[in-house]
Amino acid sequence: MKFFIDTADIPEIEKLIPSGLIDGVTTNPSLIAKSGKDMGETIKTICSIVSGPVSAEVTATEYNKMLEEGEYLASLAQNVAVKVPLTPAGLQTCKALREKDIMVNVTLCFSAAQALLAAKVGATFISPFVGRLDDIGEKGMDLISDIVIMYENYGFDTEVLVASVRNTQHLIDAAVIGAHVSTLPPKVIHELYKHPLTDKGLKAFLDDWAKTGQQILPK
């Protein structure tokens, strides 16, 4: 499974890159607004430090303007994946951009029917939102399972990019199901390392080693 980081916080991205865990980045208008920086410059900077796909979202809602915005965003860097909403105009834009060999991330997916439409128009990624489905009493992971099975049945190339991930269990469940990508807020990535038995075991090893008075490296 590929890990994308869901943020427009450049220092946070720079901090995580040396871990070797980051395969791409997803942003959206809310994250860009939170950063307080210019969208174009932010996307350019992120694309210069991340080699994988960087999702940049259009804000228009009608086709012609959406396509214009998508082409502009794609011109910022070769690794931009234009993010469009799962609407008729968004899917039409997806098809047009894919015909130009531009990566497209179709976002705000909440049903298998919507995911099927995105795959039919050649989306590079489909982003189902598990956390938001959980919030309204539905099982977000059931949707991920349905989409993975459906795509495998027909050999679609569209990758399932699990979004609205709230905790580490969401990630593990998605990985077990076989989703291709999860986009994670930085806090979830940091939580993946943590287990009390790891901390306890490391402390015991170090305490025992300290009692020997030895050191591994020669003096």
Domain boundaries, the chain: 2-212
For the chain, what is the mean pLDDT? 96
Q: How large is the average pLDDT for residues 75-102?
A: 98
Taking the CA of residue 118 as centre, how many other CA atoms within 13 Å lie in the half-sphere pointing to its CB?
33
> Catalytic pick from 2, 15, 65, 83?
83
Mean pLDDT of 36-50: 95
Architecture of domain 2-212: Alpha-Beta Barrel (3.20)
Per the DSSP assignment, residues forming a β-bridge with 84 are: 106
| Whole-number pLDDT of residue 36 | 87
Distances 74 to 46, 88, 97, 119 between C-alpha atoms, Å? 13, 21, 9, 20
Task: Tell me the C-alpha distance between 145 and 176, whole Å.
Answer: 10
Tell me, yes or no, if 83 is annotated catalytic.
yes
Q: Render pLDDT for 146-158 as a digit per residue (tens, 0 to 9).
A: 999 999 999 999 9
Is residue 206 over pLDDT 90?
Answer: yes
**Residue 115 in this model has a pLDDT that exceeds 90:** yes
Is pLDDT at 35 greater than 90 in this prediction? no
Say what the pTM is: 0.94
Any idea which of 60-64, 90-94, 147-151, 215-219 has the lowest mean pLDDT?
215-219
